[in-house]
Structure 1
Amino acid sequence: MSEAGSPAPIAIPISSSSGGRVSGKSWKYQKTSTVRSNLPEGVKCKFSVRMEKTKKEKAIKALQTELKEEKQAEITRRREITAERKIIVEEKLRLEEDKARMGAKKAARIARRAGRTKKIAH
């Protein structure tokens, strides 16, 4: 059936171009697939990569929120302590004034009992 003397058909290499045809115009470039540079980064990457990125961002945001809450709690605690101290100082001052006032009243009462008044200094 096959003869030993006839050579096998030889494949002729075709130049790497679209459809095996080369343009004779040197200024024309070979066409390639569209580069979608206008698309946002989120659409260009895979869904799993986007979800991973979103998960990381959520974790970071949660940590930041926690730190902010701790900081705010510390500030609130300090304010409460300062307010308590201020109230204590005001109370002490009020008690001292009351004591002085009561002392003056008592002295006036003793003077009245002794028969002395403001008008007549003995």
Structure 2
Amino acid sequence: MRMESGMVSESVLDQFKSEIVVLNEIQHRHLVSILGYCLDGNVRLLVYEYMPQGTLSRHLFQWKEEGLNPLEGLKRLTIALDVARGVQYLHSLAHQSFIHRDLKPSNILPTDDMGAKVVDLDLFA
């Protein structure tokens, strides 16, 4: 994920660094793992694990254009349960409770076996 902005203030930089610390601490099988980051001038870059299936919105809303089959009921249920498990971890099982403030299909990434992982952890502690 690449984030660019004009002038990066010291407080924005501190907030980005503290978010990296949190992302490294909260690890769960239904949350996309952060592999690294880069701070170069005004560019901030987060490196997540590669998820080749794209986003859930692709499988729900653009499946015809993408040449995909519609998701079957059991796959939808599996994805919903995996997302719920990831969010439950954030809310109550992590060392500190977090709220994901931007949960939507474009922030859910299907796994190769059509489970799911939550990404873009715009977290509020």
Work out whether the TM-score is over 0.5: no
Instruction: Give the structure-1-normalised TM-score.
Output: 0.22
Larger Cα Rg: Structure 1 or Structure 2?
Answer: 1
After TM superposition, the score normalised by the length of structure 2 is 0.22
Instruction: Answer 1 or 2: which has greater strand percent.
Output: 2
Greater relative contact order (CA < 8 Å, ≥ 6 in sequence): 2
